Chain A
Amino acid sequence: MASLAALKNRLEQIEEQSYYEILRVPSGASVEDIKAAFHDFALDVHPDRYVDADPGTAGVAAEIFKRGVESYKVLSNRKTRAAYDEGLLDGRLRYVEGRPAPAAAPVVRTMTLEEIAMRPRAKQHALKADRFIAAGRLDDARIALVNAIQEDFDNDDLKERLNKLYRDMSAGPIALDLDYRPRR
């Protein structure tokens, strides 16, 4: 069982994590993987596992668990997962059911490609791609991103971003900056 400090740390991190990261599964994980991951997650942070700890610790565990439940529910359903994945591309870490985000919704910042890339060489290429995108040079960005993916061959998120880039390119030249706005 994790200590109070460790749990608090985890709870803080959760605010910046996607559902995949909360459950610690790759973004291409199967339904069975997600289920097993949720079980492991629950064994870690379900408040009932903290009956021997003080109520404060169990309370922090419960807060983490509730975010896991949210993640699990969304990722377990094919439809909500697809919608979530779509939103995730725009940097929305939490899923909102049904309706499009209202006008007053806070603007969400998208992760840079450099942040998504994992290996050092991939990061270099990704940084280039980021700069090309910022400059509106989408084709150059595409080449840089492909290079990055060759370094980071198992990085599904990077591949998803490439797909998004292709979509943006086919939609015609748009002035993009690092802060992608959520598309309606």
Chain B
Amino acid sequence: MGVAVGIDLGTTNTVVAVMRDGKPVTLADEAGRKLIPSFVAFHPAGKVLVGESAKDRRVVDPSNTIYSVKRLIGRTYASDEVQRSLKTMPFEIVEGDKQGVRVVARGEVYTLPEISAFVLRRAKAVAEAALGEVVDRAVITVPANFNDPQRAATKLAGKLAGLEVLRILNEPTAAALAYGQTAGKPERIAVYDLGGGTFDITLLDLSGEVFEVLATGGDTSLGGDDVDQAIAAEMANFFLKNFRFDPRPDPTARALLRARAEKLKHALSDREEASIDMNDVVRGNGGAFVPASFSMTRKALEVLTNPLIDRTIDTCRFSIETIGLEPNEVERILLVGGATRMPVVARRVEEYFQRPADGKVNPDEVVAQGAAVQAAALTKTQAKATPDKGAAAREKAKAAPPPAAPPPAAKPVLAPTLSRDEAPYEPTPAAPRAPLPPPPGRPPPPPPRGATALGKIPLVKQAAPAAPVETLEELDLAIESVEPVGPSFDFDLELPPAARGGAARAPQAAAEQRQVIRPVRGAPPPAAGSEPRLPQAPPAADYATLPSFDAAPPAALPPPAPAAVHAPPPEPPPRAAPLLIDVTPISLGVEVAGGFCDFLIRANTPVPCDRTRVFRTASDNQTAVRVRVVQGESQRFSENTYLGDLELSGLRAAPRGEVQVAVTFEIDADGILNVRAKEEGTGRETVARMNLLGAQTDTEEVAAMMARQRKHEVA
């Protein structure tokens, strides 16, 4: 069995990490880069490029270079986000069956999980090259506020990439896990995660053994990209005013503006005022570019940014109130995501929580690292157990500089993690820490529930079995009453009017700039003259059923990497990873009479969880019942996100109301909905089928997607 890694599959960048010696380590590619741009370029030669090389192709071959699929995945074609992207994305987006979204590249139509799968295959290859071992399992992170179809699509992407997805993990929760590796005492923390395209707030209680998510909330269409858009709109106005030229109608100029906007935003994180050359935007008489320069103060940027931050603070307030707390009762604030580097974001968040934010986490890597922690926790112990030799050697290797000339083979790139202020993480104590007294202001921990407390438990052992206490709602839904599927609802982005006109190519710009602004440090240089090859161990038994993407036959295995850096991991310490109790971010409901929504599972319920509800036939000899299912928080059914309908078929023909079907809606640990049904009384299993919008669930469809993956080699 191979290694299990954690993958942060981001809108703009993807990061992969693994647990080593009880510590999460971010892995870098052969060039020492830890951020893999989430770009997929279909090369004319048939190869699929992912990462930096794909990002370069965007200028050459924009229609076959796909990016920012995370903004589209799991959504319906009619959703606002997809409709917006139709106008701004240079590649072709078409409607697939079940209102799904497809992209077209080189004449072939792909589903979005397939595109994400290419990115994941690249992440897998980077990890395999760095570790010199097969990677076949992963924890993949998603924004906490992702709904069921978005999670399911991400999980499918993992499967298509040849990975067993151990868990779909919420990004802020992952960040808390990574942070918790270094934190010693029980605390109540808030993770404020503002990425390129999504915002999440998650409140957790960390205690020694249990990390409990108290509440989570967010906005899947709000992020740093929106700030870029607002700046780009200002720039367009500047050109309109000074040159009587509107760059917006021209896609190239629009993309340029977005790239410059992001650069300016980054500069303003360090300076009070910055200006940027715009010498290649406006052409004068004769076609020559007119020199221009755009400058902005941090203050002006903050004026633009504040409405967006207001929305995040509102979401924070809502989450805090949900669990009945005051903002100052949160003991620590973690800022995650590149957009939190803007000083105004940190300041506003600190103001709200009345507490300085923690500066120890690296906003780019902490999510992948948390995923790695969870991947290790979800890995069978016997798979982790390896001889405890080489630990000392590795310690030495860590202290020493990287070898001047690593042998030709996989180059393990176990770069030490750098924190926001470049201080390395403290080594994580593997052993359980001594319990510390609770911080002031917190109620003392309850006394252990020992014998005395047990004495108070009401005894009902002799109680005759109560009749099934399921006093369940009954819902009469006739199949005839099914209406055509309505449009799916999406979060609407409320930008200042000026921003709407602005170009929208932030993701690519964001990815482009990241390396320039924040070069990756600490990775050893690539070995001279050796083409990095993916070392591929013989496939594991269950690996054989999955397509093998590597052309290198097992016989051509490179020699094992240097023992000093690459020795097998030591005996794992006693399971240091805490038990994670995460929650479902969005309420799940069904449609009831009058266009209302009846909630089955409320937001912030720990997962896995389930709820059983009884449905009856509404007409004589009805053999099928159809129920419409949504996720959202509105009492009005139509204001929520419509997931699809649940079809109960093969019912016994009987007078109306006589057939009662108990349907169990389960939200699993991945936050994904599963449904099963049973006929009440007879206990007969009933066929329950969720017809999810836009989802690819058929075995045949998945097989076709697998086949398309096999057709392309990823580089």
Contact of B456 among A51, A107, A111, A154 (CB under 8 A): A154
The stretch of A27-35, A135-143, A162-170 in contact with B is A27-35
Expressed in whole angstroms, the minimum distance between the Cβ of A60 and any Cβ of chain B is 13
Does chain B have a CB within 8 A of A93? yes
A48-B377, A102-B471, A104-B474 known; A20-B579 Cβ under 8 A: no
A46-B579, A52-B382, A70-B609 known; A15-B465 Cβ under 8 A: yes
Contact of B458 among A15, A52, A65, A155 (CB under 8 A): A155
Contacts of B669 in A (CB 8 A): 47-48
Asked if residues B458 and A51 are in contact (CB atoms below 8 Å), the reply is: no
Contacts of A37 in B (CB 8 A): 449
Q: Size class of A's contact patch? A: 35 or more
Chain B: how many interface residues by the 8 Å CB criterion? 49
Expressed in whole angstroms, the minimum distance between the Cβ of A67 and any Cβ of chain B is 9
Does chain A have a CB within 8 A of B132? no
Asked if residues A72 and B449 are in contact (CB atoms below 8 Å), the reply is: no
Does chain A have a CB within 8 A of B581? yes
Contacts of B579 in A (CB 8 A): 42-43, 46, 48-49
Asked if residues A52 and B381 are in contact (CB atoms below 8 Å), the reply is: yes
Asked if residues A94 and B470 are in contact (CB atoms below 8 Å), the reply is: yes
Expressed in whole angstroms, the minimum distance between the Cβ of B615 and any Cβ of chain A is 13
Contact of B469 among A24, A26, A108, A115 (CB under 8 A): A108
Contact of B449 among A21, A25, A115 (CB under 8 A): A25
Contacts of B382 in A (CB 8 A): 52
Contacts of B458 in A (CB 8 A): 18, 20-21, 26-27, 116, 118, 155-157
Q: How many A-B residue pairs have CB under 8 A?
A: 140
Does chain A have a CB within 8 A of B212? yes
Q: State which residues 406-439 of B face A: CB under 8 Å.
A: none
The stretch of B22-30, B36-44, B534-542, B600-608 in contact with A is B600-608
Contact with A along B453-470 (1 / 0, CB 8 A): 111111110111111111
Asked if residues A108 and B210 are in contact (CB atoms below 8 Å), the reply is: no
Contacts of A49 in B (CB 8 A): 579
Contacts of B209 in A (CB 8 A): 39, 43
**Complex-state Cα separation, A28 to B609, whole angstroms:** 25
Contact of B470 among A16, A20, A48, A106 (CB under 8 A): A106
| Closest B residue by C-beta to A103 | B474
**Complex-state Cα separation, A61 to B196, whole angstroms:** 38
A24-B449, A42-B581, A118-B459 known; A92-B380 Cβ under 8 A: no
Asked if residues A69 and B605 are in contact (CB atoms below 8 Å), the reply is: yes
| Closest A residue by C-beta to B470 | A94
Asked if residues B460 and A69 are in contact (CB atoms below 8 Å), the reply is: no
Contacts of A26 in B (CB 8 A): 453, 456-458
**Complex-state Cα separation, A101 to B610, whole angstroms:** 20
Asked if residues B456 and A43 are in contact (CB atoms below 8 Å), the reply is: no
Does chain A have a CB within 8 A of B275? no
**Complex-state Cα separation, A62 to B449, whole angstroms:** 23
Asked if residues A91 and B466 are in contact (CB atoms below 8 Å), the reply is: yes
Does chain B have a CB within 8 A of A66? yes
Contacts of B212 in A (CB 8 A): 35, 39
Asked if residues B467 and A16 are in contact (CB atoms below 8 Å), the reply is: no
Contacts of A2 in B (CB 8 A): none
Contacts of A105 in B (CB 8 A): 471-472
| Closest B residue by C-beta to A94 | B469
Does chain A have a CB within 8 A of B441? no
Contact of A106 among B378, B381, B463, B467 (CB under 8 A): B467
Does chain B have a CB within 8 A of A181? no
Q: State which residues 168-211 of B face A: CB under 8 Å.
A: 205, 207, 209-210
Does chain B have a CB within 8 A of A177? no
Asked if residues A62 and B608 are in contact (CB atoms below 8 Å), the reply is: yes
Contacts of B464 in A (CB 8 A): 109
Does chain A have a CB within 8 A of B574? no
Expressed in whole angstroms, the minimum distance between the Cβ of A39 and any Cβ of chain B is 4
**Complex-state Cα separation, A80 to B610, whole angstroms:** 18
Contacts of A39 in B (CB 8 A): 207, 209-210, 212, 581
Expressed in whole angstroms, the minimum distance between the Cβ of B25 and any Cβ of chain A is 21
Expressed in whole angstroms, the minimum distance between the Cβ of A75 and any Cβ of chain B is 13
Contact with A along B660-693 (1 / 0, CB 8 A): 0000001001000000000000000000000000
A52-B382, A93-B466 known; A33-B449 Cβ under 8 A: yes
Does chain B have a CB within 8 A of A82? no
Does chain B have a CB within 8 A of A96? yes
Contacts of B455 in A (CB 8 A): 118, 154
Asked if residues A42 and B210 are in contact (CB atoms below 8 Å), the reply is: yes
Does chain B have a CB within 8 A of A17? yes
**Complex-state Cα separation, A40 to B581, whole angstroms:** 12
Contact of A102 among B463, B473, B608, B610 (CB under 8 A): B473
**Complex-state Cα separation, A111 to B465, whole angstroms:** 10
Contacts of A65 in B (CB 8 A): 608
Contacts of B469 in A (CB 8 A): 91-94, 106, 108
**Complex-state Cα separation, A39 to B606, whole angstroms:** 12
**Complex-state Cα separation, A121 to B669, whole angstroms:** 47
Expressed in whole angstroms, the minimum distance between the Cβ of A52 and any Cβ of chain B is 5
**Complex-state Cα separation, A104 to B658, whole angstroms:** 11
Contacts of A48 in B (CB 8 A): 377-378, 579-580, 669
Q: State which residues 275-300 of B face A: CB under 8 Å.
A: none
**Complex-state Cα separation, A106 to B470, whole angstroms:** 8
Contacts of A101 in B (CB 8 A): 471
Contacts of A109 in B (CB 8 A): 464, 466-467
Asked if residues A102 and B457 are in contact (CB atoms below 8 Å), the reply is: no
**Complex-state Cα separation, A116 to B669, whole angstroms:** 36
Expressed in whole angstroms, the minimum distance between the Cβ of A129 and any Cβ of chain B is 16
**Complex-state Cα separation, A116 to B459, whole angstroms:** 6
Expressed in whole angstroms, the minimum distance between the Cβ of B137 and any Cβ of chain A is 11
Does chain A have a CB within 8 A of B594? no
List 23 interface pairs A-B (beta carbons < 8 Å), by A numbering.
A15-B466, A16-B465, A17-B460, A21-B457, A21-B458, A24-B449, A24-B454, A25-B449, A26-B453, A27-B458, A32-B445, A48-B579, A52-B381, A52-B382, A62-B608, A73-B605, A73-B606, A94-B470, A102-B473, A104-B474, A108-B471, A109-B464, A118-B458
20 new A-B contacts at CB < 8 Å, known A17-B460, A104-B474, A106-B467: A16-B460, A18-B458, A24-B454, A24-B457, A26-B456, A27-B458, A32-B445, A42-B210, A47-B669, A48-B580, A48-B669, A96-B471, A96-B473, A99-B473, A101-B471, A107-B467, A109-B466, A118-B455, A154-B455, A182-B471
